Amino acid sequence: MMHVDRYEKRWMIATGITLAVFVLAIAVTAVVGGIELPGVSGRIAPSTVESAPPFANPGVRQLGPGRYEVFIRAQTWAFFPNELHVPAGSSVTFHLTSPDVLHGFYVEGTNLHMMVLPGHVSTLTATFGKPGSHQFWCDEYCGLGHQLMSGRLVVDPGH
């Protein structure tokens, strides 16, 4: 049998435990924190983003009782639209794309965070329980006006 030094063995065990704790931490965060990976719901030719629906007329649309979808164009250097209103308690599916370069979409106070790539439609769904205002930002460096890219998501009191 291979001889393993006593101290080396202890360090191997400690390393194994540390790895197990990390894996457990990821598993717990995924379940308790409700981690949802952004999906690519579709592909779109970047040159048509500004001229073809649905991104040519971005905004909030109602799908059914308490269900909404939002189309947002992220482009150098603004979000269209840059102010959104949804009622509290509603489930909102966000669809974002870009006609030019890589952008980000991060909504303060939520776990909504995704990359926005030209040619891809990034999609995430979130439920907003309480009325309030959430600032959102582009958090991927996208050029000279990157710091100007922001907007506001307003959760209005439900009916």
In the complex, the residues that contact ligand CUA under the rule CB under 6 A are 74, 77, 103, 138, 140-142, 146, 149
Nearest distance, CB of residue 143 and ligand CUA, angstroms: 7
Nearest to 61 by CA among 69, 73, 52, 49: 69
Beta-strand relationship, 113-116 and 103-107: antiparallel
- Distance (Å, whole) CA 106 – CA 51: 25
CB-nearer residue toward ligand CUA: 92 or 138 = 138
Q: Tokens 């992220």 belong to which residue? A: 74
| Local structure of 101: helix, strand or coil | coil
Name which of 92 and 142 has its Cβ closer to ligand CUA: 142
Measured between alpha carbons, how far is 90 from 73 in angstroms, rounded to an integer? 22
Q: Angle at CA 13, nearest 5°, toward 11 and 14?
A: 60
Quote the least distance from Cβ 86 to ligand CUA, whole Å: 22
> What is the 8-class DSSP label of residue 5?
-
Nearer to ligand CUA, 90 or 97 (CB): 97
Residue number, 99 or 128, with CB nearest to ligand CUA: 99
Closest distance of CB 145 from ligand CUA, Å: 8
Closest distance between ligand CUA and the C-beta of residue 101, in Å?
7
Q: How far is the CB of 146 from ligand CUA (least distance, A)?
A: 4
Q: Which is nearer to ligand CUA, 68 or 104 (CB)?
A: 104
Cα 14 → chain centroid: 36
